[in-house]
Amino acid sequence: MSAPYILAQPLFYWPRQQSRISMPIPSSATDQEIALWVRGGNRESIGILVNRYSPSLYRYLVHLTGDPPRAEDILQETWLKTMEHIDRYDPGHSFKAWLFAIAKNCAIDTWRRVTREGRVPPGWVPEDNNAPDPMDQLADDEISALDRIEEDELQAHVETIFPTLPPHYREALSLRFQEEMPLEEISQVLCVPLSTVKTRVRRGLELLRRRLIQWEGRSHE
């Protein structure tokens, strides 16, 4: 999946017939500036946002669903919803968090639809994002202190281990470390309290560390 692929799709039909002169948009423009240009009828400016965020959105949706083809469909739906609701975006807040929240909601809508059809793939994040997770039932003092995961360990094994984590941890860790999203923005995307985000990131890292150690042990047997 690539941004050019998304741009090639018929996603961005602009319903407003406006005779405005399209001004060149600098690639260095902020998300807020571009969103305002899109809102004002500048069709070309949406392409900058698509190029800027499609790769990370797709990566997030793959981690969320474990289903690359479905992630492609949700990605296209996300951009359609973004265009449809661009007037609702508040430039005083993070565009990235707003965009990822739309993607999350599109994924939930898809989850509900495929659930009704009785064909939910394993590994999808459930509709109820506040559903209890076994790790969350442990008291803090029952979890060992998080040891630093060495960089070479991550590079060598994390791609193998990461998909085995529970969906809620995959989602939180993907947003925090792959997308480098602040914890406060992750809270907005997931619609959960900040304390819950911190817990999922910390315990997700702990579980990842444990499974890396187990994987290392088996690989040396």
- Architecture label for domain 134-219: Orthogonal Bundle (1.10)
Query: What average pLDDT does this structure show over 196-221?
Result: 81
User: pLDDT digits over 34-84, tens only?
Assistant: 998 888 888 678 888 999 999 999 999 988 888 899 899 999 999 999 999
Could you tell me the residue ranges of all domains in the chain? 3-12+22-116, 134-219
What does pTM read for this prediction?
0.70
- Domain topology for 3-12+22-116: Rna Polymerase Sigma Factor; Chain: A (1.10.1740)
Categorize the per-residue pLDDT at 221 as very low, low, confident or very high, splitting at 50, 70 and 90: low
Segment 125-139 mean pLDDT: 45
Q: What is the mean pLDDT of the chain?
A: 76
**Joined tokens for residue 122:** 């394993």
Q: What is the pLDDT of residue 181?
A: 92
Which is more confidently placed, 101 or 217?
Answer: 101
Q: Taking residues 8-30, what's their average pLDDT?
A: 54
Buried b (16+ CB within 10 A) or exposed e, 7-31: eeeebbeeeeeeeeeeeebeeebeb
Interval 122-128 mean pLDDT: 56
The reported pLDDT for the residue numbered 4 is 40
More confident residue, 134 or 62: 62
SS (H, E, C) the chain: CCHHHHHHCCCCCCCCCCCCCCCCCCCCCCHHHHHHHHHCCCHHHHHHHHHHHHHHHHHHHHHHHCCHHHHHHHHHHHHHHHHHCHHHCCCCCCHHHHHHHHHHHHHHHHHHHHHHCCCCCCCCCCCCCCCCCHHHHCCHHHCCCCCCCCHHHHHHHHHHHHHHCCHHHHHHHHHHHHCCCCHHHHHHHHCCCHHHHHHHHHHHHHHHHHHHHHHHHHHCC
Residues 140/127, Cβ–Cβ less than 8 Å: no
